[in-house]
């Protein structure tokens, strides 16, 4: 059992620290600067695409980039993995690069720092389209 003097010293020490410290608090999220706020705004305008079975994949679009997102993002909502790339239709018919999208993925960036007002398509490739449809969402 602690002596009354020891308890008094511990209480006094604890009380002397109160003016100097308080529990940390998180700052409120600012939708203009918060990464989560930006992502929610960007993904809120996502467009759905659907590809029937029996083909190699296909292209979704044409779309035009907006101020809503700085990047072009794709989410694979299918039960199998796939690859996606962006084709900037005013410049080329070739892909920028292929991005792997696992089955039931979250949004993945398939093109970064794209200017507003750029026309593009999203191209998909996967041999499993022969057996199952592909469902994807695009945020741009």
Residues 42, 69: contact at Cβ < 8 Å? yes
* Angle at 15 (CA atoms; ends 12, 17), nearest 5 degrees: 115
pLDDT at 9: 46
Please write the tens of the pLDDT for every residue from 21-67: 333 222 333 333 334 444 557 888 788 888 776 566 788 889 999 89
DSSP string, 50-118: EE-SSSSEEEEEEEE--TT-SSEEEEE-SSS-EEEEEE-TTT-SS-S--EEE-TT---EEEE-SPPTT-
- Listed in sequence order, the residues at least 6 apart from 8 whose beta carbon sits closer than 8 Å to its beta carbon are none
Higher pLDDT, 6 or 29: 6
The CA distance from 136 to 86, in Å, is 14
Could you tell me the pTM of the whole model?
0.64
The CA distance from 138 to 41, in Å, is 13
Q: Could you state, in order of their start, the residue ranges of all structural domains in the chain?
A: 47-139
Number of helical H runs and strand E runs in the chain: 2, 8
pLDDT at 135: 85
Write out the two tokens for 39: 């992502």
Domain 47-139's class?
mainly beta
């Amino acid at each position: 059992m602690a002596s009354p003097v020891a308890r008094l010293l511990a209480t006094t020490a604890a009380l002397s620290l109160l003016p100097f410290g308080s529990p940390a608090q998180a700052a409120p999220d600012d939708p203009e600067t918060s990464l989560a706020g930006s992502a929610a705004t960007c993904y809120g305008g996502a467009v759905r695409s659907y590809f029937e079975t029996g083909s190699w994949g296909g292209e979704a679009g044409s779309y035009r980039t907006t101020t809503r997102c700085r990047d072009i993002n794709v989410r694979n909502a299918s039960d199998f993995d796939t690859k996606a790339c962006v084709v900037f239709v005013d410049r080329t018919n070739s892909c920028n690069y292929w991005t792997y999208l696992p089955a039931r993925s979250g949004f993945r960036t398939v093109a970064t720092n794209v200017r507003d007002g750029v026309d593009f398509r999203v191209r998909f490739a996967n041999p499993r389209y022969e057996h199952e449809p592909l469902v994807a969402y695009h945020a741009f």
